[in-house]
Every structure is written in C-alpha cells, then in structure tokens.
Structure 1
Amino acid sequence: MTTSHQSNRLANEKSPYLLQHQYNPVDWFPWSEEAFEIAKLENKPIFLSIGYSTCHWCHVMAHESFEDQTVANMLNKDFISIKVDREERPDVDHIYMAVCQAMTGQGGWPLTVFLTPEKKPFFAGTYFPRSRKYNRSGLVEIIAQMAAKWKEDAERIREVGEQVMQETTSRLLEHRTGGEVTEETLHEAFRLYESTFDPANGGFGSSPKFPTAHNLSFLLRYYHKTGKEKALEMVEKTLDAMHRGGMYDHIGFGFSRYSVDERWLVPHFEKMLYDNALLVMTYIEAYQVTGKEKYAEVAEQIITYVLRDMTDEGGGFYSAEDADSEGEEGRFYVWTPDEIEVVLGVEDGDLYSELYDITESGNYEGHNIPNLIDTTLASVAKRKQIPLQELKHRLEAARVKLFEHREQRVHPGKDDKILTSWNGLMIAALSKAACALDKPVYAEAAAKAADFLLRELRREDGRLLARYRDGEAAYLGYVDDYAFLVWGLIELYEATFELRYLREAVQLNAEMLRLFGDEEKGGLYFYGSDAEQLLTRPKEIYDGATPSGNGAAALNMQRLARLTYDAKLSQAADVQLQAFAGAVAAHPPGHALTLAALDFAYGEASEIVIAGDPAKPLTQQMLRAVRRQYLPNALLILHPPGPAGEEVRKLIPLVQDKLPLGGQATAYVCQNFACQAPTQELEDLENLSK
C-alpha cells in the first residue's frame, strides 16, 4: 500500500471525504464538467466512486485499492476517476444508487460505477476488494475487464449505458399516482408494521436493524388516534431495547447508525447527526405520551452529546463521527474488565462490569461493548442490596470517570461539515425538547443554529445552499434542505414564538414549491430547476434512514396552510398528498412522514391560541400545560398584546378575535374549524390529549 506525497485535485475541496483521498496516487477529479470534457476528448470511460467520510467500508476500499500504486496506475491509464461525497451531492448519489440497485439488486457505500463520458452507467457495484476474495470480484480484475471491453467496442458499451439509464430513469420516475390515500391507509400501515415487528427484541424485521425513528413516531400518532395499545407496545419495546443495547453509547451518549444483529448489541459504530435528531424527537414524543421520565432522560443525553461533541462555535451542527479509530472499527468504544478496574477500582469496577456485560471472553471480538440487554438496575440493586438511588449515583460517577478516561484515547474522525438538511432536523428536535421539557436552553441552541443557516447558507438572492465547511457555503440546496429546515423553523416558532422564524418558514416553503414543484403531476423533484441537470430528475417519496423531503414537505404544508389561511398553499398541500397516493397506498410503512401529513389532513387537527402577556405567570403556565402533552396535530400560537400582537395577526389571521378577557391570559381551543368557549382555567388545558 502506498500513498502519494503529492496531492491530487481533491486537495482543493472542502469535503472531509474528498480530502481523505487527496494523497491517493489515483488521479482523482471532483464531479465537474472538466472531468467529463477530458473523458470525451480522450475517449475514456469514467470510474465513479461515491462514499462519505465516516463510512467504514469506504475506508477499507481506500486503503486496499486507492492507496495502491498498481490500482492507481490502471485507473490513471485507462479511466477518468471521479470521487463524490454523497452528503454534498445526494442528487448524483441518488441516481447512481438507483442504477446499482437495478443492476445488482442491492446498494450501499462505497458505491462504484463505471460510466461513459456522457455519464451513462454500464457497470455498478459497491465495495470491491483489491483482488478477488470473500467470493467477490476483485477491483483489479474489474478495471482490466472494463478497460478491455471499452477498447474492444466503445459504441456497444455506450448502447448498454443508454439502455441502463433508460431503465433506471423509468424506475425513478415511476410513481404510482393512481389510487387514493384515506384513513384506511393509516390502518393498513399499522397492520404491516405489526406483521414485521420483532416481539422478542423490538424493532422491525431481522438484522441489520436501523432505528428509523420516524416509523415509531407514526405509531405514536396511531396510538393517539385509535387507542390501540399494540402500537404503543411496539414503540416502547423498541425504544427500550435500542437504549439498553450497545447501539447506544452508555458512556458518552448518542446512538450509532444501526445494529448489525437483531438484539441491538453490536453497532456499526459511526454516529450520524440525522439519527440522533430523529431519535430525540421520538423519545420526547414517547415521554409526552407515557409520562415516563426514562424517555426524557435518553433525549436529554442525546442532546448532551450533540451540544458537547457535534456543535460548531457558530451554532451549526456537524454531520457525523466515524466508526473507525486507529484503523479499527469500534476501537474507541470497547473495554476489557482490566481497563474498567483500573479506572474505577475493584469494587465499583466489578459492579459496573456485572451490570454492563463486561467479561473476560468479551461480547465483541474479544472486547466488550457496554450494554444493559440482559440486566436491569433494579435487579442488580435488589441482588446487591443497594438502594436503587445509591446504585444510580454510583453508576453515574463511574460513567463520568470512564468518559474522562476514554477522552484520552484516539478519537474517531469527525465530519465537521454542516449540512442544511440534517441541521433542520436537529433544530426541530431541540425545539420539541425545549417545549416538552421546559428547557429554554435547548430553544436557544436551536435558534443559534437556525440563525447560522439563514445567515451563512443562503445566497444574497435568498437561494438556500446545502453545505458549509471551513468558511465556504456551496451546492444549491436540495428538496431535503428546504423541507427539513422549514420543519425546524415551524418547531422553533412554537418553542420561541419569534415570528421571524415562521416568516422564514413560509418564505422558504414558497421558494421550495417554485424551484422543485412539478406543476403537471404534483410532488417535488429532488433537485431544483436552477441546478445542474443530471441524466434524470427524480422525485423521492420513500422514507429511508431519513424521511423523504416530499413527506416532510407534505406535513409542513398542511401546518403552514392551517396557520396562515393561505388557500393556494392549502390546495398545494392536498396536491402534494395526492401526487404520491398510489405509491403510499401500495406500501404505507415506507412513507411514515407522508402518513403523518395524511393524519393531519384527515384527522382532528386543532389550533390552540394563548392570548396574553408572555411575561405574566398565567400565560406561561398555560403554555407549559399545553406543551407537556402529546398533541401531534395541534398548532400552538401565542397572541401577545400590543404591537407584537398586530404582527401576529398579519401572519396568522385565526388569532384576530382571540384576546385576553379582563386583562387575564385566555386560551382558545379550536378543533375541526369549530372553537370551544374561551377559558382561563389551567385544568381545561391540562387534559387536551385525553
């Protein structure tokens, strides 16, 4: 394995992933017209490699192949090699991942695609070892074969590329528009979730298991709507199991991306901002539904992790932390009994090891991932005859010592780019936590992040950008950037009642419809009409690791239309739901956020207006009474007196006639376009979720 001492073109990039490859002997290009022009001029095919900085198998392939001089020589001789960060260019990744899935039946990263100079794909796969092993073809052999085929008959390869792209385009653009989404779609989704639920371990399906928090959020909505206990049982079982497992970092907090086994023990150790944001929201919602403090504690621990380790001094949030450190996956996170004893001493070390499954034989490649899968604090407290509160105190003291010790280890790499879309999710999460837990500090962090995005990730003409790093904002924002930021701003308005955030949400939503909307068939394209036009322009509706931008937009539009009384937006919200009706009806569990929008549209949505001076105790008590409850289809509005109230009335017409009675804070609860009698009694607000 060799690494060039001379940097390649990637040295001029900002992406941490591209910079990881700047000293490869491969003559990499970033995705650019220059690369394709040279490929056409020299009549060479393209070797396209897509990944991201915290991807374990991307690192493996880089070390095995892209640092190898033989591989580099082969690529440099016969190909134009392009490296893409999927988190900066999800549009490019989306299209070629669809190609890989169509050609091979599977996908993942690193994504490896061979293209014609016209960007048409003719071969695709994921990770390839340098030479044949694991029953997988070797990259050396594949490169040689592709080069030979191109030289033998480039025109035939171009024909193959054209055919592959036509089939992929057809697949990407094939959204079932026929059919109708109704409340029955919600019931069918529940039945399908139930059919794949793992009652022994929580979660859905078998290994690997992903948190997919938005699915759990839908089930909480469904429980709230129908009272079906099974929906709540599935959520609680999964949330408890994920937290007890090794997928949760019991020492430093935060969740890893997924579990490789069905018991949630062994994680893929990378931590992603989007997972942790979505899980904060779901644990907060579970706390609101059940009143169980343990869910609030988990949410606060995740927030502690994000604010401590993943927050830029400007207020934005970093993207991810790597699975690897010192060349090994998970090395930063695992322990031996001897290490535990050195840090904690014999007595507390034995106690911690017994509780957290730290053994001589290990539970992961001879080492140990701390977990609570097979034990509970209550059972250990009873067996050891230690009062439960004393045990909790001792374990927290032990955790702090272990955390401080672990901090001295070599840390995994951190992807410190700031993505608008994922930051939007974290802003939403912090805002929801601020409301439910009455923690204004979380709203302050959300506001700082929102202000950073609105200041640093917008051009002078208002166009949203996707990525910020090292002083540079770049890449025209995608539909996820708009939809997730609008989501965050709506939640931030409800957490702070600063009207400017709601105004920004309305403005960005209008711009999103203009740039991404399909006036003919409805729905939103993945990239804007002003962006680089790729081989096809897809729409994404399926919820994967993150919800789809179309799903988030559907819910945003329902909420904004109800707040602003905007008839055109209300119509657009309905069109958004109908645009993908066939796809949603065909597989409801794959569209959790669209189902939430459907529930909002067809369910019992309500508006709650608190008219009063926010500085007065009764006003604050009323706000707290509403915020601590689980009211997924409610809009909470503060109507203050004076000039501030005039501004609210301009943007939110429904507050017009809702004033404090007798100078005292007054609550107005409206449901299904009918309002109850105004009230000044806290008790009337405390049972709205019943």
Structure 2
Amino acid sequence: MANRLAAATSPYLLQHAENPVDWWEWGPEAFDEAKRRNVPILLSVGYAACHWCHVMAHESFEDQATADYLNKHFVSIKVDREERPDVDAVYMQATTAMTGQGGWPMTVVMDHEGAPFFAGTYLPDQPRHGSPSFTQVLQALSGAWVDRGDDVRRTAASVAEHLRKDAAMPAYALTRERIDSAVATLAQEYDAMAGGFGGAPKFPPTMVLEFLRRYRGDAEQQARHMLARTVAAMAGSGMYDQVGGGFARYAVDRAWVVPHFEKMLYDNAQLLGLYARLGSELGDRIATETADFMLRELRTAQGGFASALDADSPAEPGGHAEEGLFYAWTPAQLTAVLGATDGAWAAELFNVTEDGTFEHGMSTLQLRHHPADEADRARLADVRRRLLAAREQRPRPARDDKVVAAWNGLAISGLVDAGRRLGRPDHLEAAVETGELLERLHVEDGRILRVSRDGVAGAHAGVLEDYGCVASGFLALAQATADARWLRSATRLLDTALEGFAAPDGGFFDTSADAEVLVARPRDPGDNASPSGLSSLVHALVEAHALTGEGRYRDAAERALATVSVLADKAPRFAGWSLAAAVTMPDGPLEVAVVGPAGEARDALVAKALTLPGAVVVATDSTEGSTEGSTEDAVIPLLVGRTPVDGRPAAYVCRGFVCERPVTEPDGIG
C-alpha cells in the first residue's frame, strides 16, 4: 500500500512511496502532527542516485518491524536534497558539527521547532563494528524523549543556537600574494603519484583545476603541472566511462581505479567545459565524448538535462541491483563481444584482469594510454562502439529525470564552451534549447523555481546557486549568439539575487530573505562538488559587468570575493571557483567583441580570443543599429559602436570597456 509520498514529484521520494514507513514530505503539516502526538521528528535526507540510501532503504525502511516502530514513536519526513538544498544544508551543518563528518543518507532526529538533537548518516540494520543498529538508535532516542525530555530539548536548543550563530565573515581582498599562497597550499595537498588532491575518496577537483588553468604568477609552472597531470589521470581512470563517455561522481580509491558509479549532471557539465577549455587533443576528445554522453543519456524530452544516473543496476532484468554492474567487465565478457584477438587487446589496453580490479572478478575500464598510431586509434574506436552496443543490452541504471535549474545552467555553460571551441553547432543548439526551457518553465519575473519534471515546474523556490549558475548559462548564450535577450534574462536574475540574497558583510545567504524560515538561514561560501551559490554568482556578476559595463555588478563581485578570503587562505580546495574569478579581476576579465561577416576569418579571431583565460567573447555578423544611442534591449552594450575594418572581421579587445585598436589578425589578440 502506498504512503503519502505517492503524490510526490521527486523520483527519490517516489522510490519510498511503497515503504511501510508512514512518510511525510517536508512541510508544516508534519510538524503539526509531531506536536499533536508529542513525538520527535525523524528526518531522512538523500537523493535518487545515492547507493547507501538504497541500502538503508532496503535494510530498514522496507522492513515492517522497523517501520512499525518508526510509525509509533516518530513522525518521519523524507527529503530529496536536490529539491531542497536549503533543508539539506542546515541539517548537514548540524550533522558535521555533531559527528565530525557528513554524507547521505543523512539521518537527523529533531524537536517540534526543527532543532536537532541527534544526527548521523547511514545506520545499519544490525550492530556492526561496535556501532548500534538503526533500531537501537531509535529506541534510545525515543526513550530519551519520553524520560529525559527537558535534557533533550536543552540539547536541541543548544544545537539550534550554534546553527544560528552570527554568520558574518571577515572580509579582506584576495590579493595576488594570497592567490600565490593558495597555489602553494594546493601543491602541499597535491597527489604526485596519481594526480588530484588528498587521498581516498577522490573527487574531480574541477573548479580548482580551472583556477590553476587561469593562474599566472610565480608558481605558474607548478600549477600547469598539477593541472595537466590531474586531467590526464582522470581521463584514463576508472572514474571516466571509457566506453560511453562521461564521469562518475568520485573514485573510492586514491588511484582513481574504482568509481562510485553514479553519474551526476553537475560533474559532467563542469568537466565538459573544463576539458573543452584546455585546448589540447586530450581535452577535445574527452569534451566531445562527455557531451555525447550527456546528450545521449541525460537529455529530457523537454530539452533539459536529467539530474543523474544511478550507481546500481541488476545483472538480469528484475534481479537485485548492485553497484557498477552496468559498467564493469570480465575478460570473458570482452571476448564474447569482441572475439579472442580484439578481446585480449582490449583487456590489456583497459587493464581488465582475471582477478578483477573491482568486485566479483570484474574490472573497471582504465585506458592505460591513448594509442598514438592511427590504425590503433581506429581499432579503439571500433572496440568502444561494439562494447557500447553490447552494454546497451544490459539492464540500465535508473535515471533521476528531474531538471534542476542550477545544474542545467552548468550544462548550458559547458555545452557553449564545447560548441564554440570544438566547432560543434549541435552543442550550441542544445544549449539554446535548454536555456529556452529554463526561461519558459523555471523563470518568472526574475525569480527561479528549483526543479521541474516532465515539463511541470515544482513548487520549491530557487536558491542562490540556481541564480548564479542559470545567469552564467544565459550569459554564455549571450556571448555565443550575440542575442541581447539572454543578457536581459541574466541581469534580471542577478538583480533579484542582489536584492534578496545579500548579507550585510558583502557576501550572500543561500536562500532569499523571503524564503521559508528554517531553524537557521543557510550560508556556505565553500565549493563542494558544484560551485557554491556565492562563487557561481560572482562569476555571473563579473561576466555581466564585462558585457554591460555596469560597475555595480563588479563592485558586488569584489565585495563577495572578499568574504571568501579566509576560506581561500585555509582551504583553497573548497574555494577554487572563487579563486578562478579572483585571478581575472585585477585587469579584467578581457572583453572581446568580434564583428564582421561569418567565415574562416571571423572564426579564427574568435578561436584566438577564446584561448584567453576567463575572457568574455561576443561575436556577431553585424551591429546594425548599434550606435552610441542604442539601448541594452537592442544590442549587447559591449558591441555598441563596433564595426568591421575595411569590410573585414575585426576584434576589439577591451578592459573595463576601454578598448585597444581593432585588429583583423588573430596574432593581434592578446
């Protein structure tokens, strides 16, 4: 029998709609019910592609005895962290404060005001390794609520006070010296053996790598080495899908051999852009394959991109789902698809062994080296094609098909980067289609709705990352198309964010001033797997200033960056996107307007301009009507007054709207 979640739109919540647990969605009705019954609230937070969420669901939430105890002694609320990042952020802060670590599924028990007095992550159904079972934890917490209610409420109030403490951040400029120091700190954390930073688990450090790509300074050679080694290691790793393209969420080991197999839109959108911007053969190949994966497997019927593919799938239709079965191979399976000769060649090239590098004698595919010989490259392409066709016959991992505004903004930016740099107009067309979906379904009167599914917008308000990432996506479209409507759409979002999310110290909260009031107002300037709301907004503000010349956008970006300085000093791995913006701020970013008839000459100017780190580049056939009296509604301000030179395409390179003489040859851009 279905529970209340059967009416939900979130694929994650729908996964729990048949649980015997009497789940509630987050809302005042659940809190009122807990007050009426005088029982504590259990909050369970996860997401559809989360492997350990599935494990805990199977062990505990599908178990009738566990559900009976929960239903009698608690009001249970299930939250999709991707729909409600604000709820997730507040209680993840509590979880890390109370336990020293975080993760999903997140399990929190709280009072009727939303103040937590217990927090944890995955809890097993049986006692293991000295840790109690989920049921034992529930019994202890229910007993404490009944027998020591005053103590419980004092603990909850203390935690709530900690969460609400003054969030003002020291603000000082991210100077060149501090940026140099950030590179030095990253070098200390760099893994010289395998690339990347830190040990296991190892996540793709996309935003840090873009910072290293843009960095110019005393440690430039070291920055280039860390960048080159890491992008090559990731591209050849088991974390990268060597058959179908695209990246898994992270590797469980230091050497990138075994991934956590879920594939997230936000990772692939960012990595697509990073590899496209590298301007190398490796970058072009990985960007092309990743874009193809996104368009093939994450594209929705409405023109957006689905959030994720699950890590788990069954070996046979209807069987028990296990992590990685869709992606891993044995030598015998390679031989069955490719034949003995090509199977042995592929096993050696992809490091597929008899013992296996994963589980059950299976191996992840790692590309030991990309063949230099043209014949071997053609052979590899044929092998990949045949393996992909064979893999399509396996039961597929589930897809979380909700469209998240922020991550689709990232997808637009990545596709624009790839389309412009790789000469792929189909990527640009896909980016425009996604932008139109966001405009039509997610944006109204300068405000954003967080999610949609099957062409129907959800009710949840956008958070700061939605405004920053979608505005950046629209600004990327403005540059690629020279269509001023995208600039108008972006600046409306930025104006809303500046008004509704600003903090008194110059930074930003993650929720609007008129958002639902939680036990604390979330605010985190640190990047995680995707840019923080603050860093994403800073990039959009910088680009908007470059396109419009409006100083208030740059001023807001500078004030916000100053509030990240402490984080950049202490933990630059979590400030990479802010640092990537900061390195362009003193003299730029460069603003490049390319005007003239389409063709090879203009393409060459654009291609050279796009190699300038962080540059804002707009190209158009004509700026007819772009006189000094033109309005922003008619033309992008950066293009006003720019004309071809003697009928030839010309590039105007500007800083702060002060331009050098136009050039007609790529070598003149720099």
| Offset of residue 584 of structure 1 | 3.3
- Alpha-carbon separation, structure 2, partners of 1:631 and 1:150: 57
Aligned with 2:208 (options 215, 230, 237) = 215
Aligned with 1:416 (options 387, 390, 401) = 401
Q: Is the 8 A contact 1:45 1:78 kept in 2?
A: yes
- For the residue of structure 1 that corresponds to 2:452, the secondary structure is strand
Distance 1:455 1:226, change over 3 A: farther
- For the residue of structure 1 that corresponds to 2:585, the secondary structure is helix
Q: Is the 8 A contact 1:563 1:635 kept in 2?
A: no
Deviations 1:69-91 (A, max 9, x none): 11101100010000000000000
Residue in structure 1 matched with residue 241 of structure 2 by the alignment: 249
- Alpha-carbon separation, structure 2, partners of 1:662 and 1:641: 15
| Offset of residue 604 of structure 1 | 4.4
Deviations 1:476-527 (A, max 9, x none): 1110101000111111222222221111111111111122122x22222111
| Offset of residue 400 of structure 1 | 1.2
List aligned pairs for 1:298-377, cutoff 5 A: 298-326=286-314, 327-372=321-366, 375-377=368-370
Q: Is the 8 A contact 1:611 1:666 kept in 2?
A: yes
Residue in structure 2 matched with residue 293 of structure 1 by the alignment: 281
Amino acid at match of 1:356: F
- Alpha-carbon separation, structure 2, partners of 1:260 and 1:390: 34
Distance 1:515 1:637, change over 3 A: farther
- For the residue of structure 2 that corresponds to 1:332, the secondary structure is coil
Q: Is the 8 A contact 1:112 1:126 kept in 2?
A: yes
| Offset of residue 32 of structure 1 | 1.1
| Offset of residue 29 of structure 1 | 0.3
2:521 matches 1:537: yes
| Offset of residue 178 of structure 1 | 4.2
Residue in structure 1 matched with residue 169 of structure 2 by the alignment: 176
List aligned pairs for 1:382-421, cutoff 5 A: 388-421=373-406
2:545 matches 1:561: yes
- Alpha-carbon separation, structure 2, partners of 1:161 and 1:250: 48
Higher helix share: 1
49-58 vs 462-471, which moves further:
462-471
Over aligned residues, Cα RMSD in angstroms? 2.0
Aligned with 1:572 (options 556, 574, 579) = 556
- For the residue of structure 1 that corresponds to 2:421, the secondary structure is helix
| Offset of residue 469 of structure 1 | 0.9
2:28 matches 1:8: no
List aligned pairs for 1:450-599, cutoff 5 A: 450-459=435-444, 461-474=445-458, 475-518=460-503, 520-599=504-583
Deviations 1:75-110 (A, max 9, x none): 000100000000000000000000010000001000
Aligned with 2:584 (options 579, 596, 600) = 600
Aligned with 1:93 (options 88, 93, 96) = 88
Residue in structure 1 matched with residue 131 of structure 2 by the alignment: 136
2:112 matches 1:117: yes
Residue in structure 2 matched with residue 632 of structure 1 by the alignment: 614
Amino acid at match of 1:202: G
Residue in structure 2 matched with residue 40 of structure 1 by the alignment: 35
| Offset of residue 7 of structure 1 | 0.1
**Please, which runs of 5 or more residues in structure 2 have no aligned partner?**
315-320
Q: Is the 8 A contact 2:183 2:219 kept in 1?
A: no
Q: Is the 8 A contact 2:268 2:290 kept in 1?
A: yes
- Alpha-carbon separation, structure 1, partners of 2:292 and 2:28: 43
| Offset of residue 462 of structure 1 | 4.1
Deviations 1:358-382 (A, max 9, x none): 2221111233334346x3354xx8x
Q: So what's the TM-score if we normalise by structure 1? A: 0.92
| Offset of residue 620 of structure 1 | 3.9
- Alpha-carbon separation, structure 2, partners of 1:479 and 1:134: 40
- Alpha-carbon separation, structure 2, partners of 1:122 and 1:566: 47
Distance 1:175 1:596, change over 3 A: farther
- Alpha-carbon separation, structure 2, partners of 1:432 and 1:471: 26
| Offset of residue 229 of structure 1 | 1.6
Q: Is the 8 A contact 1:179 1:585 kept in 2?
A: no
- Alpha-carbon separation, structure 1, partners of 2:642 and 2:201: 52
2:221 matches 1:229: yes
2:188 matches 1:195: yes
Q: Is the 8 A contact 1:285 1:630 kept in 2?
A: no
Q: So what's the TM-score if we normalise by structure 2? A: 0.95
Q: Is the 8 A contact 2:478 2:484 kept in 1?
A: yes
Aligned with 1:106 (options 101, 105, 113) = 101
- Alpha-carbon separation, structure 1, partners of 2:181 and 2:409: 30
**Please, which runs of 5 or more residues in structure 1 have no aligned partner?**
1-5, 382-387
Distance 1:366 1:131, change over 3 A: closer
